[in-house]
Structure 1
Amino acid sequence: MTPLKKLATYYVHLLSHLGIVRFSISLATAIICVALLIQMAVTFVLTGSVSEVDLIRSIFFALVLTPWAVYFMSVVVEQLEDSRMRLTEMVRKLEQMRSRDQELTQTLQQNINQLNSEIAEREKAEAARQHAIKELESEVIQRERAQVELEERSVLLRSFIDSSPDLVYYRNEQGQFSGCNRAMEELTGKKERELIGLTPFDVYEQEIASLVVETDSEVFAQNEPLTYEQWLQYPDGRKAFYELRKVPFYSNEGSRLGLLGFGRDLTERKFQQEKLEQASRDKTQFVSTLSHELRTPLNGVVGLSRILLDTKLDSSQRKHVNTILLSASTLGNIFNDIIDLDKLDRRRFTIANDVMDFSAFLVDIETLTQLQAQQKGLQFDLKCSGPMPEFVIADPTRLRQVLWNLTQNAIKFTEHGFVTLSVTASAGSNNENVNIRFDVEDSGVGIEHEQMEQIFAMYYQVEGQRKANGTGIGLAVTKQLVEAMEGQIYVRSELGKGSCFSVTLDLKRSQSEQREIEIDHPPLEILLVEDVELNVTIATALLENMGHVVHVAMTGQEAIDMFEPDDFDLVLLDIQLPDMTGFEVSSYLFDHHPASLMPPIVALTANVVSKPDEYKAVGMQDILHKPIDKRSVIRCFNSLFGLEPSEPTFIASQKPVSNAHIDMDLLQQHWQTMGKDLLLRNIELFAKVMPDYIAIIDSNLIAQDMDALVEEAHKVKGAAGSIGLAHIQRLANSIQSPELPAWKENMPDWIAQMKADYPSDLAELTQLVQSMDQ
């Protein structure tokens, strides 16, 4: 601030403080004083002296001028003050206005900022909206693409499902079909649109539908997947074996909607399995046939040895003949090994317990083993300890087979030293039983410890000092036989120092010796039907020695021609004859003669009989096993002709038919009535439908649905018979006839023969018809 401005401010302040009157007096006094001092100073300077006149003149001049100056100054100051006050008020107002303006400016700025913020937010929102629109457009495009891809995938998935050979279907909670693939359409014979809403009972037969619904309920009840196997049927009657898997399925919210079903056709695998079983049956038949052929000369040795034992012999001769008999019996045990090899696969061992002379049994084993050991220069000893029973209840054949296998193995694997059979008897599980332990010990090659667990495995052969000669089935069969007799077998061995096989059996004692069976029947007129001359000689000698009259027929047809019910008291009928089976002969005899007049028929067989009912089904009342022995014959004849004879069983069978392939009489009639062209069209129709018949028969055979198989075979029989295919008609007739002997066993062969023969028979028939007018 400048000094003048400060002075003016001070002046105005003083005026305001003193008031205009007091300020004017003060100002006037000050002016007079100042003017007086100035004038006196100026006068003094100019004149060098100040006079009173100068003083008075100065005072007068000051008094004249001062009021006007003071007044002027006061007015000016007042005006100035008033102006200042107005200016101050104006400044205040301006300040207020400025303050308000500032507030307005601030508010405006805030509004501007808010507006800018809103604009920015709107810009952001707009950008976000634009971005969202772009994203939405992108999402819509993606959804459209996904929808297209989904539709393509759905089409692809549907094509894949439809092209799958497996069944695919789904049913809702009510058990109604909701969809399926093409394989399911083919199985049910209904399109998917026709299938939707139907239940299994609307689609399948009652039996199939019941199992389907039952398994559906199990899936729903347990809420877990289920896999099982079931036969299903096509509309044409063909059956297929399916592995079915059912799983529950749910919505996205977790609620169960129904079940998904999948089915895989295992018919071919089932067919292959059936072929394997058929191969096994063929093997069994082969083994049985081979055994029969091998037993034929063996039966002669056994039978003639028994006949010789009934004659007068010295002790040395009797011992030699007895050795021959035991050797032949042992050879029979080797045949049993062959048969038992097949039984091992089926676990069909049978034990025939009877009263056995235990002491005589041991003597037989000792005789046979001693003979074999001497041939190799080995020492053999039989050692018995404990209270040996005189008679026990056991299967002598099986027990002899066990000990023979063990002693023969010991001799086989022992080059030098000894073989010992130790028999120890002790108290059994109760007072009536005796515990027998057989120990077969040798000084042979021994067995390595690593091979001990495998020694009883099928076909396993121990490598010792030399290669074993054999099949490796003896110990496996032995173990099975011991277990079948409820015994135990185990082995101890040290490599290079020999082995010891031990067998323990708990046998029941027999209180008395088995008495010789006495003949309790009259002499009989017997028709012996047997095709092997040696067997005829042995059987005839045995029967005639017992007082019977024997008439021999070597074939089935010869037996049929010779047979008259009144001429014979008994028929001994071999099962395997050169022209037909014993079953066929028996069926024919019962079919052509009254059952009340028929004498008893007894089967003769060297095979193992697993199904006696098959023999009874064709009228046979008993079975004698070859080689026949006197005790068995007496027991059989006593049961039939003794004090309590048994009643025969009569089952009717079908008559045999011609063996011609083509029924020429029927063909000639058809040619005359319908003509060549129509006859050929019928043959073509048969050729067209026959593969379908065969397919249905095969499927029913695999499914073991015998009723459906019989029904389909009946159709084949009628179709083949209507065009003169006599051979195919007969095969179909056999297939549709469950009452035939061994029907179930023979039926696969009949089917195979029909499949193999009908094309050639059909070609032959076609050629005959085409040449009939020439």
Structure 2
Amino acid sequence: MNAQPTGLSGWRVVHWVAAIGAALLVTLTPLSYIQWKQFNLMQDVAINQIDSIMWQAYQLERELSHLAYAVHASVDPASTVSGDDLVERYEVFVSRISLVTDMPRSDLLNTTKAYLDAMRQVNEFVAQADPVFEDPKGKLAQRDLRLALIRSIEQLEPALGDLTREANRATARFVDERNDQLRDQGRLVIGLAGVQAAVLLLFVVLLVRHLRRQVTQYERLQHITRELGVAKDQADAANHGKSVFLANMSHEIRTPFQGVLGMLNLLDETQLSGQQRDYVQTARDSAQHLLGVLNDILDVSTMESGTLSLAPEPVRLRTLVQEVEGLMRAAAREKGVSLEVDAAPDLPEWVMADPTRVRQILFNLLGNAVKFTHEGSITASVRPLADTPGGICITVQDTGMGMDAATVAQLFTRFYQADNSVRRRIGGSGLGLEISRNLARMMGGSIDVSSEPARGSLFTVKLVLPTTEAPAQAARSPEQTGQKRKLRVLVAEDHPINLKYMHILLDRMGHEAVFCENGQEALQLLELQRFDVVLLDFHMPVLDGLATTAAIRALDGTNKDIKIVLVTADVVNDTRKRALDVGVNEFASKPLQAQDLQRALEHCGLLDGSTVLVGDEAPVAPAPVMPEQQDIRSSAAGLIDSESYTEIVSMMPADTMDELLRTLFEPPEGSVHVLLAALASGQAAQIGYDAHKLKGTAMLLGFRALVRISGQIEQLAKQEGATFAPELSTQLRADMERTQQALRQFQTVSPA
């Protein structure tokens, strides 16, 4: 009798469990079926309706934007967009019209005002544009007709935007219809949910117990949070102490480092062998790199400790920008990236600024641009801010790898590595941008950045640098360089302009020079005469610089050990290694400057330790003081480096300068016309050679536009199977004419 209730009780429990399981099965099975149907219904809405209505309208709007961009670009005189490109874009746009008119469930859209207005304007635009695009060589080539198309496109764009939005609303209306169906299904779900409610009551007890445990855990977490707050305060105090310690230690380390660098500089001025001088230079480069890292740490530490201050003084802003450009150009050239730095014509001449800190900002931004740009260009500009007294805006635009939004948001975080793998390959401590932003804020400005992956980055720096008067000691004395020892120099250079320039340069430096046009002639002269050093151009006919060097090293007699300096505009790592392998002693980059040649000769050990001005033995007439070239800078922006050209003019007599310009521009033997003739022939080797000669001469004279176009042609000529479009000749001729026009303006503002 006693066992029966137990058995019965146990049986009832088992059946209750079975009943609950059956109830769940009965309710969940239809619920699952209903949910499956709802899922299919929503998938149908998402895939079919949005793609067929809103997406087709958006396609039409997007193709109009592409057409607008192409027509806009074709108006630019320098544009490479052809008439066929415009016709292709237009045909793609027209093909999208039928997608809108024939879309599924078009009844949701084709009765709306937005659709009717858009289709009316589209038909009007097509009626206007068809005759123009049917005649790409005639009507489409007319600039006024393209401008009219641009205006029509601008009027059509809002209507297509409204159509896209109306398509979105039509999709929403269609979804509302489906929602009504879902609502009916929801009623069934509610009924089934009532059955489930009874089952859910069984889990209330378990839920209450769980909530109690959660409350207990929450109270424990609150206690831990308070402890973490105390620990954070202690860590902040320790971090401040660390910053003060780093600031003090960085100062202490930098002081003896300056002594190390000073001793290395003094050691470099003593009589050293070539190998010893190379060791000293390596040690000095390493010390400079380590000192740069220490300086970054010092800057961050002093910023944190609040002891960093600016030391403003009168600064010639344009000169400072050009100095930075000159130092960064070699790094950009070594990576095969073009660098253009433009200082606006209305830039203040003198401003109150800390030149070291302004340079630091420019170096950081340009240095990063060079690091992360593997091909393409870097463009920097410095211009005044019209709406800010004393405001200066600096922009640095590159075509590098770019960054996503998450990286940009963290970019100015200390030690942040945007891409660890890239940073490891390229280097960098992750401090430069944070330091630059803090320095910009100290100068009353800021740094902003916009970037897209694979499309480059744009950094914008705004500073407040008040305009000031030039200091009394700002007048510059003529630059004179030279040395006591007079050298016999053999120069192998195939271009007459460069020959004349190097003749004047060596004469001003007090050396005796003998000139020849190629490496073969240089070898013949070395067999007959004694020289101290040979200056070889890299690209020469008959024998180039490397082949000539190898032949010299194979000579019999003392001349086989003569010092050789390779003069070229493209001494990149691979070229430098090959040159060193064949026996080149030193390098000097084009355009050759007196200080570069002086440094190369010193590194070769050809000059005695004490150096004096050339004036001690060969007086040099002071360069004429040129007037402010504000007009020429304004009219020739991007065409001529006025300071480089002024320096060349100051070195040469007027008749010699005129002869140089004729050698460059006068047909048919002028360098530009020789290159035009080579382009017409289509012979890649000759084109590359003539383009290289023109580039070297243009770099010497500061003709920026000619440097750009000749450099592009030279790079194209190096590609296997290269073809030379007629647009290259057109652009070269246009740049020549614009440069000549700028030179005429320059002569107008120059003294008689």
Shorter-chain TM range is under 0.3
Q: Determine which structure has the larger strand proportion and give its number.
A: 1
Q: Determine which structure has the larger helix proportion and give its number.
A: 2
Larger radius of gyration: 1
